Amino acid sequence: MKSRFIEIDLLRTLAIVMMIVYHIGYDLAFFHNFDLDPLAGGWKLLALSTATLFLLLVGISFVISWDRTHSRTRLPTEARRAKVGTRYKYFKRGLTILAFGLLITIVTYFWDRETYIRFGILHMIGVSVILLPFFRKLREWNIAIAALIIILGMNIRNFSLFTFHSSLFLPFGIPPPNFTTLDYYPLLPWFGIVLTGLALGDLFYIRPKRIPKPTNRILTFLSFPGKHALVIYLVHQPILLLLLGIWFNTIIQ
């Protein structure tokens, strides 16, 4: 079994806690008429911080996993085979995450056809995992590309000369008029955050050739949710809705 960097799992656990706190506030506002606005102020900052942390960790985790795969190859022919095999591995992983994103699209479509999720954070992560192998060689230079992507993404609507009435451009940060959704994280600018994580992982883990250190039981316990972030992401919201519904006696009316 491969050893893990405990701090990465702990940070992912922190992101999970932040996500759950935000969704509790969101559910209280929209389903139980609490006087708070989860789309503004501190709540919005919490949502953006949570997504940023998750996406940074996607990039960091990728570069560590990629390096471990290729550090075992010594001959040029082995290296070429490993590169092709690793790209295929991440292509499959990205497609799997994207499939879960599409499942959420279907579920939310039947929940509310006006605000269903078309390119949420799982779609974003799935596509990012497929793209990351093509940026690996740039190492820390990905910071420069990340900056360009973030700047472009934050201003792309100002640069657009035309109004697009199709949802085909949603992944690039160009929604159609009057677009509303429960969750929207386009490649522009959010892929820039993933590339930043890729560069940071190279700088702080690969260049110094860091190795995981032994840890104690408390930290291992706290890191457990971080090892199962995808499962928790998929099930936490239905569980929250159920528990809040029971708490406020609104699950059966």
Between CA 113 and CA 116, with CA 114 as vertex, the angle to 5 degrees is 65
pLDDT tens digits along 181-229: 999 999 999 999 999 999 999 999 999 999 998 889 999 999 999 999 9
Cα–Cα distance for residue pair 56/175, rounded to 1 Å: 24
Give the pLDDT of residue 177.
86
Query: Per the structure, how many domains does the chain have?
Result: 1
Average pLDDT over residues 9-17: 98
Distance between first and last Cα of the chain:
50
pLDDT tens digits along 84-127: 678 899 999 999 999 999 999 999 999 999 999 999 999 999 99
Cα–Cα distance for residue pair 117/207, rounded to 1 Å: 38
pLDDT at 10 over 80: yes
pLDDT tens digits along 128-154: 999 999 999 999 999 999 999 999 999
Give the pLDDT of residue 68.
87
- Tell whether 27 is covered by a domain: no
- State the residue for tokens 């690793």: 86
- Tell whether 155 is covered by a domain: yes
Give the range of the structural domain holding residue 123, as residue numbers without chain letter.
39-212
